[in-house]
Amino acid sequence: MTEEEMYATYKGVYLPKVVHSSESLKYYEEFSFRPDDILIVTYPKSGTTWMQEIVPLIMSQGDPELVDTVPNWDRVPWLEETRACNLNLDQRPSPRVFITHFQYNMMSTGFFKVKPRVIYVMRNPRDVFTSYFHFSGMASYLVTPGTQTEFLHKFLDGKAIFGSWFDHVKGWMSAAEQQHIMYISYEEMILDLEASVTRIAQFLDTPLDSEMKRKIAERCVFKNMKKNKMSNYSLVPSEFMDPNVSEFLRKGKGYCRRLEESSNCSRGGLL
Ligand code: PPS
């Protein structure tokens, strides 16, 4: 099937109709943020699932109950997905944690008014592309990617779901609310996860002792997180996501050579 058949266009970008209904987009537009909400923002394949594990563990001071019992999509839900309408998010206690793949210029009036805290995660576009290519082959609600070259053209032209990586990163990097936004890269987390946990905990005003930081980082490294069935997408029926085509937690590698050479490394200063 084609993009026209499987996707709706919302604010200029493609969204898969199966997971984004007009009702859910209206829900998103009218969503009431609280100032102490935490909103994780990612372009797809940039570290979304990883943050859905790390942030709840930081907020719970390392208590694994939530990440062991609630699937990542309900634990830290996407505000723009159909599921969000049925999760009674207005009744969740503060501080609530949400996620969105939306570009900066797609954010709602409520977001700009309330200015909740944002953690923006970015990843090297070469690895995003590769991850996106494999994901498009395994997820039945996405248009099959074709060859790598065909998918590369779609990726570069912003014809993949959620639009262009370049627009996404540019928009959020030049956001007006910089004092409410923490920027972090997937590569920074690959290089030193414990230091990343420390930085995120500081941003969230959640003090953790060194042992707790070490434990959270240990739990969230790829090989360990991959075992958590609440986070590895093994609970999703295979007609929706087929692990025989590609696993969701596929390789978990980042291109870090330039970061290692860079003095900006600890600030996640490179894309
Ligand atoms: S999605 O569909 O947007 O929610 O996908 P997202 O979670 O953003 O990205 C999936 C990629 O993130 C990798 N991943 C991890 N890498 C390192 N460590 C941990 N713990 C981790 N968890 C998820 C996942 O493997 C996907 O990358 P690739 O390159 O495909 O392996």
Q: Give the three-class secondary structure for 209.
A: coil
Q: How confident is the model at residue 258 (pLDDT cuts 50, 70, 90)?
A: low
Ligand 1 atom closest to Cα of 225? 20
What residue's CA is closest to ligand 1, atom 18? 222
% the chain with pLDDT above 90? 92
What residue's CA is closest to ligand 1, atom 14? 252
pLDDT for 256 = 72
Render pLDDT for 153-179 as a digit per residue (tens, 0 to 9).
999 999 999 999 999 999 999 999 899
**Sequence ranges of the domains in the chain:** 3-262
Pocket flag, ligand 1, residue 103 (CB < 6 Å): no
Pocket flag, ligand 1, residue 251 (CB < 6 Å): yes
Mean pLDDT of the chain: 94
Q: How far is the CA of 262 from the centre of ligand 1 (A)?
A: 24
CA distances in angstroms from 34 to 8, 48, 96, 118, listed in the order given: 29, 21, 8, 12
Ligand 1 atom closest to Cα of 46? 8
Render pLDDT for 58-71 as a digit per residue (tens, 0 to 9).
999 999 999 999 99
Pocket flag, ligand 1, residue 228 (CB < 6 Å): no
Residue 211 pLDDT more than 60?
A: yes
Contact 98, 76 (CB under 8 A): yes
Render pLDDT for 128-153 as a digit per residue (tens, 0 to 9).
999 999 999 999 999 999 999 999 99
Q: Which residue out of 42, 127, 131 has the highest number of ligand 1 atoms within 8 Å of its CB and is therefore the one to mutate? A: 131
- Cα separation, 150 vs 4, in Å, equals 17
Q: What is the dihedral of CA 79, 80, 86, 88, to 10 degrees?
A: 20
- Structure token digits, residue 123: 């990843």
Please list the active-site residues.
Answer: 101
pLDDT for 261 = 55
pLDDT for 40 = 98
Q: How far is the CA of 32 from the centre of ligand 1 (A)?
A: 29
What residue's CA is closest to ligand 1, atom 27? 252
Q: How confident is the model at residue 231 (pLDDT cuts 50, 70, 90)?
A: very high
pLDDT for 262 = 54
Q: How far is the CA of 44 from the centre of ligand 1 (A)?
A: 9
Pocket flag, ligand 1, residue 222 (CB < 6 Å): yes
Superfamily, domain 3-262: P-loop containing nucleotide triphosphate hydrolases (3.40.50.300)
